[in-house]
């Protein structure tokens, strides 16, 4: 029998965090922006069917970067949590805060107890009746949770994208401007180069949470996925 080497807890956690961070940094970025019309979720994603952005409940959406199978299982668990809660209590008792804390607990448990941490970063967004009531939570692989106000950027070049969006963000943005801003952030100009060409609609995944879906579409489900034609029309 071979003797186990002693590894200090600090070193163990640091190695796990480095491993997860590396996995996440390989992926492309996702941007979630709160604006006047609601919340826009924009991802660079060439696949039309493997989504990085999804609906969880009436007013709640989910966005993720990292390993697909890991965040997809978290998304499905979130849908189950929300549906069971809404069915057994009431639809309005399903909140992003509750969902985010469940995610934080599961990510934290996986990070400390499992063989390998999840290589994912998540955002949970809830649209409110006014912009002040919007909630954006960012969750990282170790279960840390942060409450953001204006926008969340996750994935590969998060810092670069984030600084580009910070420069252009205003509370009064409409969906078209918010998506344009996200695109500008996702294709940052390299140093000393011409600004990169904007991404074509086929390489994008865009979804929105309508602030007033009851009035505009007659449904309490605020989540709407935009297809290529919708994206082209929105940005025209």
Partner 1 sequence: MQESTANQVAANATSSFTEHLQRDRPELLPFSRSLQGGASTAVPVQVPHATTIVAMSYGGGVLMAGDRRATMGNIIASRHIEKVFPADHFSVLGIAGTAGIAIDLTRLFQVELEHYEKIEGTQLSLEGKANRLGAMIRGNLPMALQGLAVVPLFAGFDTSAGVGRLFSYDVTGGRYEEHEHHTVGSGSVFARGALKKLWRPNLTAAEALSVAVESLYDAADDDSATGGPDTVRQLWPVVYTVDRTGAHRVPEADLAAASRAVIEARTVAGREA
Least distance CB 53 / partner 1 (angstroms): 11
Residues numbered 23-52 forming contacts with partner 1, rule: CB under 8 A = 49, 51
For residue 32, the SS3 value is strand
Binding string, residues 208-227; x marks residues near partner 1 by CB under 8 A: -------------x------
d(CA 39, CA 16): 33
For residue 89, the SS3 value is coil
What token pair was written down for 72?
A: 């997809």
What count of Cα atoms within 13 Å lies in the side-chain half-sphere of residue 220? 6
Least distance CB 169 / partner 1 (angstroms): 29
| 130 near partner 1, judged by CB under 8 A | no
| 79 near partner 1, judged by CB under 8 A | yes
Closest CA to 160 of 31, 52, 18, 24: 31
Least distance CB 126 / partner 1 (angstroms): 16
Least distance CB 57 / partner 1 (angstroms): 8
d(CA 178, CA 175): 5
| 53 near partner 1, judged by CB under 8 A | no
| 80 near partner 1, judged by CB under 8 A | yes
For residue 216, the SS3 value is helix
Alpha carbon 91 to chain centroid, angstroms: 22
Contact residue for partner 1 among 2, 3, 4, 88 (CB under 8 A): 88
**Which residues lie near partner 1 (CB under 8 A)?**
49, 51, 54-56, 76, 79-80, 83-84, 86-88, 221
């Amino acid at each position: 029998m071979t003797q186990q080497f002693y590894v200090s807890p600090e070193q163990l956690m640091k190695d796990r965090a480095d491993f997860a961070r590396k996995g996440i940094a390989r992926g492309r970025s996702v941007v979630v922006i709160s604006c006047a019309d609601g919340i826009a979720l924009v991802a660079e994603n060439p696949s039309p069917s493997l989504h990085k952005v999804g609906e969880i409940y009436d007013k709640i959406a989910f966005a993720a970067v990292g390993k697909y199978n890991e965040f997809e299982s978290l998304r499905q668990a979130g849908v189950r949590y929300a549906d069971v809660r809404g069915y057994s209590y009431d639809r309005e008792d399903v909140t992003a805060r509750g969902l985010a804390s469940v995610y934080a607990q599961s990510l934290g448990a996986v990070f400390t107890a499992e063989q390998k941490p999840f290589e994912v970063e998540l955002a949970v967004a809830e649209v409110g009746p006014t912009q002040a009531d919007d909630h954006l939570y960012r969750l990282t692989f170790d279960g840390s949770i942060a409450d953001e106000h204006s926008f969340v950027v996750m994935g590969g070049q998060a810092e670069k994208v984030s600084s580009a969006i910070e420069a252009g963000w205003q509370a009064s943005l409409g969906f078209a401007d918010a998506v344009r801003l996200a695109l500008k952030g996702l294709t940052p100009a390299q140093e000393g180069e011409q600004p990169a060409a904007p991404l074509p609609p086929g390489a994008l995944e865009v979804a929105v949470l309508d602030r007033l879906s009851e009035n505009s579409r007659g449904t309490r489900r605020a989540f709407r996925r935009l297809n290529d034609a919708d994206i082209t029309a929105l940005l025209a």
